Amino acid sequence: MIDKLGALQARITAALDGVKNLKELDDLEVAELGRKSEFMLALKGLGELPPEQRRSVGQKANEIKTALAASFGVRRQELRSASLGALAEEEWIDITAPGIRPPAGHVHLTNQAIDEITDIFSRIGFYRYRHPEADWDWYAFEALNMPPDHPARDEWETFFVDAPVHPRLGRMVLTPHTSSGQVREMERRGLPIRMIGISKCYRRQMDVSHVPMFHQFEGLLIDHGVSVTHLKGVLDHFARTYFGPERKTRLRPFHFRFTEPSFEVDISCGICLGTGRLKDGAKCRLCKDGWLELGGAGMIHPNVLSAGKIDPEEWGGFAFGWGVERTMMMRSGLQIPDIREIYKNDLRFLSQF
Contact 80, 22 (CB under 8 A): yes
Tell me how many degrees the CA angle 210-161-169 measures, rounded to the nearest 5.
Answer: 110
Count of positions on this chain that bind ligand PHE (CB under 6 A): 12
Distance of CA 337 to the CA centre of its chain: 24
Task: Give the x/- contact pattern for ligand PHE in 200-219, rule: CB under 6 A.
Answer: ------------------x-
Q: Which of 319, 330, 339, 342 binds ligand PHE (CB under 6 A)?
A: 319
Tell me how many degrees the CA angle 60-64-68 measures, rounded to the nearest 5.
Answer: 170
296 touches ligand PHE (CB under 6 A)? yes
Helices 51-90 and 2-18 pack at an angle, to 10 degrees, of 0
* Residues in Cβ contact with 81 at an 8 Å cutoff, skipping those fewer than 6 apart: none
316 touches ligand PHE (CB under 6 A)? no
Short-list 267, 246, 257, 274, CA closest to 322: 267
In the complex, what is the shortest distance from the CB of residue 259 to ligand PHE, in angstroms, rounded to a whole number?
5
In the complex, what is the shortest distance from the CB of residue 149 to ligand PHE, in angstroms, rounded to a whole number?
19
**First vs last C-alpha separation in the chain:** 88
Task: Give the x/- contact pattern for ligand PHE in 213-252, rule: CB under 6 A.
Answer: -----x----------------------------------
Which span (37-45, 57-65, 131-139, 316-324) binds ligand PHE, by CB under 6 A?
A: 316-324
126 touches ligand PHE (CB under 6 A)? no
Report the site for ligand PHE in 254-273 (rule: CB under 6 A): 256, 259
In the complex, what is the shortest distance from the CB of residue 278 to ligand PHE, in angstroms, rounded to a whole number?
31
- Residue nearer to ligand PHE on the CB measure, 290 or 295: 295
Q: Which of 153, 173, 321, 325 binds ligand PHE (CB under 6 A)?
A: 321
Strands 291-300 and 170-174, bridge-based pairing: unpaired
Contact 79, 21 (CB under 8 A): yes
In the complex, what is the shortest distance from the CB of residue 195 to ligand PHE, in angstroms, rounded to a whole number?
12
Instruction: Give the H or E element holding residue 261.
Output: strand 259-268
Q: Which of 196, 320, 326, 342 binds ligand PHE (CB under 6 A)?
A: 320
Q: CA-to-CA distance for 8 and 12, rounded, in angstroms?
A: 6
Nearest 5°: phi and psi at 317? -175, 180
Which span (107-115, 167-175, 292-300, 333-341) binds ligand PHE, by CB under 6 A?
A: 292-300
Instruction: Give the H or E element holding residue 349.
Output: helix 347-350
Q: CA-to-CA distance for 271 and 33, rounded, in angstroms?
A: 92
Q: Which of 179, 199, 249, 327 binds ligand PHE (CB under 6 A)?
A: 179
In the complex, what is the shortest distance from the CB of residue 320 to ligand PHE, in angstroms, rounded to a whole number?
5
At 213, the amino acid letter reads M
Which span (50-58, 225-233, 296-304, 338-346) binds ligand PHE, by CB under 6 A?
A: 296-304
Using CB under 6 A, list all residues that contact ligand PHE: 177, 179, 218, 256, 259, 295-298, 319-321
